[in-house]
Structure 1
Amino acid sequence: MSFKIAIIGAGSVGFTKKLFTDLLCVPEFRDIEVALTDISQHNLDMIKAILEKIVEANGFPVKVTADTNRRRALEGAKYIISCVRVGGLEAYADDIRIPLKYGIDQCVGDTICAGGILYGQRNIPVILDFCKDIREVAAPGAKFLNYANPMAMNTWAAIEYGKVDTVGLCHGVQHGAEQIAEILGAKSVSELDYICSGINHQTWFIDLRLNGRKIEKDELIAAFEAHPVFSQQEKLRIDVLKRFGVYSTESNGHLSEYLPWYRKRPEEIARWIDMSDWIHGETGGYLRHSTETRNWFETEFPQFLASAAKPIDPAKRSNEHASHILEALETGRVYRGHFNLKNNGVISNLPADAIIESPGFVDRFGINMVSGITLPEACAATCMASINVQRMSVHAAVSGDIDLLKLAVLHDPLVGAVATPEEVWQMVDEMVVAQARWLPQYADAVPAAKERLAKSSVKTREWAGAARRNVRSIEELRAEKSALKKAV
């Protein structure tokens, strides 16, 4: 088979390498063209060198191109994959820093909460630019696979306003399933059958079967509490499991910021998180991790390049959905996964316009969702709170309505548990002014926001958060990696 795949935001070097390697694990895909595009020529040069090394080492006739001209990269593409981070780490730092001034302590801040909503405001205009290019220069009927967060908002905008065939993809379901398989003593995750449904990052394991045997709530709780690692790292998720009766796919740190109960008091945060790794609830944990990863990659690039000169092992193909979806669409080999699409009645107790994450099957006829799912009421209620925020956020991002944006942030569960309306109004003004260069739709609103900030009497504080760690230096990272190798 010979067709073109374009990857937007290909400068996300590690993730792009994984997607590329997965694609080449499909025997029929070894004559494809992969077009890389990014705003950073430096990052494009690095990832192109790595991918060409992979191609050379395996002797495949794959064509790899790299171009900062996105429209040129998308010409004739049958599939387009996006993994962009609009504003980079600079804007992301404001997503964490400014809400902390108002007492809002986020672990990740890329889905909802104050940071995730502003992240969506930066992303959605760019996503719609992608969609315009796809409609105009990509292959007829091209499919857009969005990996970029905020997943639901980006996918919602691409479908409703971009008018492009779009599916949102994430790996939270797979990671949750791996945990459950481990605590239940399965030899591999293939022994576990499950139905996960909800919305991205708030998806719920509503049915679990281990080798055909149904796993009930009490058994799952006991298995998590008996696990020497997860019992400490996933305290909040286990508490939600006890109260809701089902396990959430999302990490302890992520889940903690989507709910109004666990991060609203600084003195309570330590009770529910674990500092062994960023993902378990550390303040600004993903920002620190992303910064360290970028610094590490820049410094260690020669080693990354050298490691690319190895034969591809199809047995090590990852569980990222993209390559499996394309394989099913192109070959007819059926793939079952969990996909982000418009609900349209698939989940009976969520709105039709919401972007849900739920099971589906892929073949030559497309992605076919499993319908007739009803979430437990508590899960549906929690999802609804986020869906309402997402809907307002998308419409604000498209219209440039700063008042609607403020209402979206006000209705965010964690923000509403911590901040007053006056604080929310000022915080949004501050974030929009700080990120104005990435928010063209709010250009007319920025001068008035600056005036309000100059006159405001709402008090703030400089606060690092309840559980902050410093970014580690390259030397510290090397020392830790060396110690881990010796321990093994």
Structure 2
Amino acid sequence: MSFKIAIIGAGSVGFTKKLFTDILCVPEFTDIEFALTDVSEHNLQMIKAILDRIVEANRLPTRVTATTDRRKALEGARYVISCVRVGGLEAYADDIRIPLKYGIDQCVGDTICAGGILYGQRNIPVILDFCKDISEVAETNVKFLNYANPMAMNTWAAIEYGKVDTVGLCHGVQHGAEQIAEVLGAKSTQELDYVCSGINHQTWFIDLRLNGRPIGKDELVAAFEAHPVYSQQEKLRIDVLKRFGVYSTESNGHLSEYLPWYRKRPDEITRWIDMSDWIHGETGGYLRYSTETRNWFETEYPQFLEAASKPINREKRSNEHASHILEALETNRVYRGHFNVKNNGVITNLPQDAIIESPGFVDRFGINMAAGITLPEACAATCIASINVQRMSVHAAISGDIDLLKLAVLHDPLVGAVSTPEEVWQMVDEMVVAQAAWLPQYAHAVPAARERLSTSQVKTREWAGAARRSVRSIEELRAEKAALKQAG
């Protein structure tokens, strides 16, 4: 087979390498073209060198091109994959820093909450630019695979306003299944059969079977509480399991910021999180991790390049959906996964226009969702609260209506649990002014926002958060990796 895959945001080096090697694990896909594009020429050249090394080491006919000209990369593409982070770590730092001044403590801040909403405002205009180019120069039946967060907002905009055939992809379901398999003593996730449904980062294991035997709430709670690691790392997640009756796919830290109950006071935050790794609830944990990862890659790049000389091991193909979707579409080998698409009746008790994440099957006819799923009422209520925020956020990003943006932030569950309306109005003004370079749709609103900030009487505080850690140096990271290697 011969076709073209364009990867936008290919400078996300580690993730691009994973997608690339996964796709080349499909025997029929060796003679294809990967067109890499990014705003950073530096990152592009680094990832191209790595992928070229993989191609050379495996003696493949695969072609790899790299260009900052996005439209050129998209020409004739059958598949387009987006891994973009608009604004980079500079804007992301403001997503965490500014809300902290108003008492809003986020672990990740990339889905909803104050940070996730502003992230969506930066991304959506760019997503629509992608869609315009895709419609004009890619193959007629091109499929757009979005990996970028905020997943639901980006996918919503691409489908509703970009008018491109889009599916959103995430790995939260797979990771949740791996945990469940481990606590239940299964040898692998192959022993599990499950229906996991909801919205991205709030999907729920509503039907769970181990080797055909149904697993109920009490057995699952007992299994997690008996686990020596997860019982400490996933305290909040286990509490939600006890109260809702079903397990959530999302990590302790992520889940904590989508709900109004666990991060509303500093003493409550430290009660529910675990500091053994960023993903379990650390303040700004993903920002720290992302910063360290970038610094590490820049410094240790020769090692990454050397590692690319190893043969591809098809047995180590990851569970990221992209390669499996492409394989199913092109070869008709059926794949079952969990996909972000417009609801349209798939989940009976969520809004029809929402972007849901639910099971589907892929073959040469496309992605076919399993329809008629009904969520437990508490799960649906939690999802609907987030969907309402997502909808307003998307509409605000499209229209450039700063008042609607403020209403979207006001209705966010965690923001509403922590901040007053006056604080929300000022916080949004401050974030829009700070990120004006990436928010062209709000250019008309920035002068008035800046004026309001100059006369505001709303008090703020300089607060690092309830559980903040400093970015580690390269030397500290090396010492930690050496210690882990010695211990292992």
| TM-score, length of structure 2 as denominator length | 1.00
Deviation at 1:141, TM superposition (A): 1.2
Instruction: Write the letter of the residue equivalent to 2:271.
Output: R
Distance 1:157 1:432 in 2: 20
**Partner residue in 1 for 2:110:** 110
Q: 1:381 and 2:386 equivalent?
A: no
In the aligned structure 2, how far is the partner of 1:476 from the partner of 1:261? 35
SS across alignment from 1:136? helix
* In structure 1, distance between residues paired with 2:38 and 2:477: 28
Amino acid at match of 1:88: G
Structure 1: runs of 5 or more not aligned: none
What one-letter code is carried by the residue in structure 2 that aligns with 1:353?
D
Q: How does 1:338-357 map to 2 (within 5 A)?
A: 338-357=338-357
- The match for 1:34 is 34
CA offsets, 1:441-484, max 9 Å, x none?
00000000001000100000000000000000000000000000
Match of 1:93 in 2: 93
* Aligned residue in 1 for 2:485: 485
- Please tell me the residue identity of whatever aligns with 1:464: A
Three-state SS of the structure 2 residue aligned to 1:258 is coil
Letter in 2 for 1:121: Q
2-side partners of 1:268 and 1:186: how far apart? 34
- 2:52 aligned with 1:52: yes
Looking at structure 2, the residues matched to 289 and 327 of structure 1 have their Cα atoms a distance apart, in angstroms, of: 32
Q: How does 1:234-249 map to 2 (within 5 A)?
A: 234-249=234-249
Map of 1:128 onto structure 2: 128
Structure 1 residue 11, shift from structure 2 partner: 0.1
Match of 1:331 in 2: 331
In structure 2, what residue type is equivalent to 1:370? A
Residue 300 of structure 1: how far off its partner (Å): 0.2
Shift of 1:95: 0.1
The amino acid of 1:330's aligned partner reads E
**Aligned-partner Cα distance in 1 for 2:187–2:85:** 37
Q: What's 2:189 paired with?
A: 189
The aligned runs of 1:89-488 (5 Å cut-off) are 89-488=89-488
CA distance in 2, matches of 1:266, 1:425: 23
1:363-391 CA distances to partner (integer Å, 9 max, x unpaired)? 00000000010000000000000000000
Separation in 2, partners of 1:128, 1:141 = 18
**Counterpart amino acid of 2:158?**
A
What is the identity percentage for the equivalent residue pairs of Structure 1 and Structure 2? Answer: 88
1:247 partner SS: coil
Q: Tell me the number of residue pairs that the alignment of Structure 1 and Structure 2 aligns.
A: 488
Structure 1 letter corresponding to 2:396: A
CA distance in 1, matches of 2:107, 2:277: 11
The one-letter amino acid of 2:364's match is R
In structure 2, the residue matched to 1:71 is 71
Cross-structure match for 1:21: 21
Task: Please state how far the C-alpha of 1:218 moved relative to its aligned partner.
Answer: 0.2
CA distance in structure 1 between the aligned counterparts of 2:396 and 2:11, rounded to whole angstroms: 28
User: Aligned with 1:86: secondary structure?
Assistant: coil
Aligned residue identity for 2:438: W
CA distance in 1, matches of 2:38, 2:27: 28
| Code of the aligned partner of 1:26 | V
Q: Kindly provide the amino acid, as one letter, of the partner of residue 173 in structure 1.
A: V
Deviation of 1:267 (Å): 1.2
- State the AA in 2 paired with 1:83: C
**What CA distance in whole angstroms lies between the structure 2 residues aligned with 1:8 and 1:458?**
41
Q: Which digits, 9 at most, give the CA deviation of each residue in 1:380-404, with x for residues without a partner?
A: 0000000000000000000000000
Cα distance per residue 1:189-234 (max 9 Å; x no partner): 1101110000000000000010000000000000000000000000
| CA drift at 1:338 | 0.1
Within 2, Cα distance between the matches of 1:156 and 1:393?
A: 10
Query: What letter corresponds to residue 181 of structure 2 in structure 1?
Result: A
1:422-442 deviation per Cα after TM superposition (whole angstroms, max 9, x unaligned) = 000000000000000000000
Deviations 1:252-288 (A, max 9, x none): 0000000000000011111100000000000000000
- Regions of 4+ moved over 3 Å: none
Supply the distance in 2 between the matched residues of 1:265 and 1:219 (Cα, whole angstroms).
31
Q: What code does the residue aligned with 1:195 have?
A: V
2:125 corresponds to which letter in structure 1? P
Post-superposition Cα deviations, 1:91-145, rounded to whole Å, max 9, x if no partner, equal: 0000000000000000000000000000000000000000000000001110000
Q: Which amino acid aligns with 1:469?
A: R
Residue identity matched to 2:410: L
Using the alignment, how far apart are the partners of 1:323 and 1:93 within structure 2?
32
- Aligned mates of 1:3, 1:100 — CA distance in 2: 47
CA displacement, residues 237-263 of structure 1 (integer Å, 9 cap, x when unaligned)? 000000000000000000000000000
- CA separation in 2, counterparts of 1:215 and 1:299? 47
- For the residues of structure 1 that align with 2:203 and 2:369, how far apart are their CA atoms? 15
Q: CA deviation at 1:177?
A: 0.1
Amino acid at match of 2:195: I
AA matched with 1:376? P
The CA distance in 2 between the partners of 1:266 and 1:427, in whole Å, is 19
3-state SS of 1:248 partner? coil
Partner SS for 1:93:
helix
